[in-house]
Amino acid sequence: MDDRLQRVADLLHEAAETHHVVYRIVDGDDPDWASWYSEWLTALSELPQILGTAPVRSHLTYELVRLDREFTEGDFGGRWENHYAAALVEKFGTA
């Protein structure tokens, strides 16, 4: 996995851990999790610097929901963070 993909996967993992801490009182349950993740990733993490651009938050939210469905319904194996990172770098990353 190249460095940029690993860095995005690590941010996604950090977002998951942070989300669980923030939503600890409900054991991480958040029906609108993708909106929370996209806000955190675009405003409070290094994602824009890693990608070379700041994704529009609503576009990132859509992609996170799409990737969640794809990963849940598919048989990808491995960590979800790696699958999402590859797709997000391909979709939003600059050369």
Residues 25-50: pLDDT tens digits?
988 788 999 999 999 999 999 999 99
φ, ψ at 94 (rounded to 5°): -100, 160
Tell me the domain boundaries of the chain: 3-92
pLDDT of residue 30: 84
| Per-residue pLDDT tens over the stretch 49-81 | 999 999 999 999 999 999 999 999 998 889 999
The answer, yes or no, to whether residue 1 has pLDDT greater than 90, is no
- Greatest Cα pair distance in the chain: 41
Residues in the chain: 95
pLDDT of residue 28: 73
